[in-house]
Structure 1
Amino acid sequence: MRLLRHSTALVAGLLMSASVMAADSYNNYQQDEPGYFAMIGDLVIARPLLLGATVLGTGAFLVSLPFSALGGNVPEAGRELVIRPAEETFVRCLGCTRAGYGRQQQDELR
């Protein structure tokens, strides 16, 4: 029991330190290529949270659809609640801070 408590604390501490390092890497590599800690933090922390935001946003969009249709803003609601979180989850390169970062950099190299 004691070993389980210590190992749980160790894993929690490692995850917290990785997220701090990932946040620091985001700031350092915003213009350059993302580093190791930015990629690990993005894979372990950000992507699962963004996937959850995409699922919740889709549910919220479906619930708000009748009201959005009455107000005439279905495209805007869909873009903000579903498309933007989905782009950040699936289109953004690993460790990048903005969607399309990798494609813009590759286009500049051509």
Structure 2
Amino acid sequence: MKLFRSTAAALALTTGLLTLPAYADVAQQNSSGDPLYTADAPKAFSMIGDLLIARPLLIGATAIGALAFVVSLPFTAAGGNIGEAGHALVVEPGKEAFVRCLGCTTSGYKQN
């Protein structure tokens, strides 16, 4: 029963993590009226939430995705889509965890 509860909790957290981009798009519309609040200048509470909640979950998703990629490797090799599986399971969560700026909703380095 303990394994079932742990698995259910992990799935619930993962599902919640996957819905974050949908909420970020709604929050991105700048309904507060503050001209300084944009994707390039997130507020402090966005940074704290990102640091304490989103980043640890994304790092965990990257580790779980890497494990799932290794387990699914024989099947993806047979299907001929190793690159797509690796990108979806490892690269995308890793990019969101390690490349995105703190509190931002889009990933990638800024090009000045």
TM-score normalised by length of structure 2:
0.66
Q: Which amino acid aligns with 2:57?
A: L
In the alignment, structure 2 segments of 5+ residues that lack a partner are 1-22, 31-36
Q: CA–CA distance in 2 between the matches of 1:51 and 1:83? A: 11
Residues 75-86 of structure 1: pairs in structure 2 closer than 5 A: 75-86=83-94
Shift of 1:98: 1.3
Contact 2:40 2:104 in 1 (8 A): no
Bigger helix fraction: 1
Of the three residues 70, 79, 86, the one matched with 1:62 is 70
In the alignment, structure 1 segments of 5+ residues that lack a partner are 1-22
Of the three residues 87, 96, 102, the one matched with 1:88 is 96
Q: Secondary structure at the match of 2:110?
A: helix
Taking every aligned residue pair, what percent have the same amino acid on both sides? Answer: 59
Shift of 1:97: 0.6
TM superposition outliers: structure 1 runs of 4+ over 4 Å: none
For these two proteins, the number of residue pairs brought into alignment is: 81
In 2 relative to 1, CA 30–57 (structure 1 residues): closer, same or farther, beyond 3 Å? farther
| Greater length-normalized contact order (CA 8 Å, ≥ 6 residues apart) | 2
Pairwise CA RMSD: 2.0
